[in-house]
Amino acid sequence: MRTIYLVPALIAAMALSCAASLAQTVKVGVINTYSGPFAAVGEQLERGITLYMKLHGKELPPGVTIELIRRDDTGPNPEVAKRLAQELITRDKVQLLTGVVWTPNALAIAPLVTEAKVPFIIMNAGTAMITTKSPYIARVSFTLWQSSYPMGTWAAKNGIKSAYILVSDYGPGIDGEAAFTKAFTEGGGTIAGDVRMPVTTPDFVPYLQRAKDAKPDAVFVFVPAGKQATGFIKAFGDLGMGSAGIKLIGTGDVTTDEELQNMGDPAIGTMTMHHYSAAGDRPANKAFVAAYKAEFGPNEEPGFEVPDAYDGMAAIFHVISAQKGNIDPDKTMELLKGWKYDSARGPIMIDPETRDIVQNEYLRRVDKVNGRLQNTELETIPMVKDPWKELNKTK
Ligand code: PHB
């Protein structure tokens, strides 16, 4: 009699253990800035991750789940980022790493992912050479050369004869300065002055005063997005630079969409080159912004880090799904090379040769529309590869 009951119980037990052995949880380490003076930038990135998980979190193959393990680097702190990456790799045994707002942090992590063979999908850090530091790095965000180089070309062609350069004194600022200078001077422009400012400076007035005294046609700027950008625009307004006839041009970091309403009218007229504007009227962006507002509030606009992180999650889901949760580092990198996605920013691709992002750059102007500031897209430069890598190819 007993065996009759035993058989189904045995089958059930076997089925359970079978399902357990098929179930896969992929651990993904997220290093981001969740606290400190730069937390506003980290919050944008986090919102991109959250939004993707909310809309697509259940789209993994049956039995495959993802576990995000979040860690706070507290800002541009390479020592902290390195320790966190080390712990995530050795103790938490993450199979993928992502996040990372700051260039110095990404550079500190690069040797660790090479040694441990952990694919590292960068969602922000934008200094061009970062991707050359490890074959296990792919970037879904941007490079400063991608925006600053076409900005220099545009400025030279559009009546700006002299420009004064103000950049944050670290990787992305130095890239922005080099890229803008090259394109602008090759187009016939003159550099009226060139000053690097501390990354964390709370006061931009002394730098802008010197720029004003030099009487250039324009100031070209790179500062990190977030509260630094708002501080810069406010100082530009306070010093009456606009009424003195000096144009403000730069990368889109300085007119980051989520801060525009805090910047106020001094931002109006600023011309920037960037890969994303919340005001972009592509259908994919309209849907993206609607989903963002539904989640975070009707008066919130996504900054560029939001689609960048969201697309980073799409890339992560792609590699997890394609391998049914069994992550092989080399196979993962092959899957990332040439990956294409219809992003809110337009079509994007990971360059198979460089593992860096290829995307549209948009020339934008800050306008006030129905009482709200926006980055109006005026021109599109399609599918820009990182110019720094393109220019250094033949050398
Ligand atoms: C960077 O550190 O690479 C970085 C940070 C903030 C930005 C852009 C680049 O807005």
Mean pLDDT of the chain: 95
Residue corresponding to tokens 């609607």:
290
Closest atom of ligand 1 relative to the 126 alpha carbon = 3
In the predicted structure, residue 371 carries a pLDDT above the cut 90: yes
The Cα diameter of the chain in Å comes to 99
Separation between Cα atoms, residue 262 and residue 267, nearest integer Å: 10
Residue nearest to atom 6 of ligand 1 (CA): 224
CA of 103 to the centre of ligand 1 (A): 7
Closest atom of ligand 1 relative to the 76 alpha carbon = 2
CA of 125 to the centre of ligand 1 (A): 5
Closest atom of ligand 1 relative to the 105 alpha carbon = 2
Separation between Cα atoms, residue 118 and residue 136, nearest integer Å: 7
- Burial letters for 170-200: b for 16+ Cβ neighbours within 10 Å, e otherwise? bbbbbbbbbbbbbbbeeeebebbbebbbebe
Is the separation of the CB atoms in 166 and 195 below 8 Å?
yes
Chain centre distance of CA 317 = 18
Residue nearest to atom 7 of ligand 1 (CA): 224
CA of 29 to the centre of ligand 1 (A): 20
CA of 182 to the centre of ligand 1 (A): 21
Per-residue pLDDT of 165-210, as tens digits, reads 999 999 999 999 999 999 999 999 999 999 999 999 989 999 999 9
Angle (CA) 90-92-98 rounded to 5° is 95
Separation between Cα atoms, residue 172 and residue 222, nearest integer Å: 8
Burial of 244 (0-12, 13-18, 19+ CB in 10 A): exposed
Instruction: Provide the pLDDT for residue 23.
Output: 78
CA of 256 to the centre of ligand 1 (A): 12
Q: Which amino acid is at 208?
A: L
Separation between Cα atoms, residue 145 and residue 384, nearest integer Å: 10
Closest atom of ligand 1 relative to the 102 alpha carbon = 2
Q: Which amino acid is at 47?
A: R
Pairing assessment for the beta strands 357-369 and 271-274 based on DSSP bridges: antiparallel
CA of 27 to the centre of ligand 1 (A): 26
Instruction: Provide the pLDDT for residue 13.
Output: 54
In the predicted structure, residue 343 carries a pLDDT above the cut 70: yes
Residue nearest to atom 3 of ligand 1 (CA): 125
Q: Is 159 left (phi over 0), alpha (psi -120 to 50) or beta?
A: left
Ligand 1, CB within 6 Å, residue ranges: 41, 101-103, 124-127, 171-172, 224-225, 253
CA dihedral 208, 211, 215, 217 (to 10 degrees): -90
Closest atom of ligand 1 relative to the 226 alpha carbon = 10
CA of 105 to the centre of ligand 1 (A): 11
What's the mean pLDDT in 142-151? Answer: 98
Instruction: Provide the pLDDT for residue 9.
Output: 57
CA of 2 to the centre of ligand 1 (A): 69
Closest atom of ligand 1 relative to the 225 alpha carbon = 10
Per-residue pLDDT of 199-241, as tens digits, reads 999 899 999 999 999 999 999 999 999 999 999 999 999 999 9
- Report if pTM > 0.85: yes
CA of 60 to the centre of ligand 1 (A): 31
In the predicted structure, residue 10 carries a pLDDT above the cut 70: no
Closest atom of ligand 1 relative to the 130 alpha carbon = 3
Residue nearest to atom 2 of ligand 1 (CA): 102
Percent of the chain, pLDDT > 70?
94
To test ligand 1's pocket by mutation, which of 102, 256, 357 has the most ligand atoms within 8 angstroms of CB? 102
Instruction: Provide the pLDDT for residue 22.
Output: 62
Among 286, 250, 259, 77, smallest CA distance to 168 is for: 250
